[in-house]
Amino acid sequence: MTFFRPLAHSPARRLRLRGALLAVVCLGMILGLWGVFTLFMFFGTLKAARMLQFVFLSLTVLFALLAIGHLVDNEGIVKVAGWVGLICGASAIYLAMGEVLNEQFGRTVLPIGEPR
């Protein structure tokens, strides 16, 4: 096996590792930018229904966790982000159902925290 040991540190392998690291860092930066955009969208929801605020706040947290997890290459943070993503998605589905049902029935079927 010592014959293959020099191949593990070959220049081509180092370039592949650098390329993979660059891709992970770029992904983290892109997710961070999406997080900034989502944060500004959250500010736009401050006069809207509370549930919509929760969706955008949880989406901002999701993008922040994903960006940090990829930038520091921490799989645990990315897994926590996955759980936050499930909560965000479930709340978005609830909001959509609430808006449609409340509009169709003309009353509050599913409370979504109407703005005052």
Distance CA(28)–CA(52), nearest Å, equals 26
What does the pLDDT average to over 11-30? 72
Distance CA(63)–CA(61), nearest Å, equals 6
Q: Note the pLDDT of residue 3.
A: 47
pLDDT tens figures, 41-70: 999 999 999 999 999 999 999 999 999 999
pLDDT tens figures, 83-116: 999 999 999 999 999 999 999 999 999 999 988 7
Pair of tokens at residue 36: 């900034």
Whether 68 and 31 have beta carbons less than 8 Å apart is answered as no
Q: What is the pTM of this model?
A: 0.81
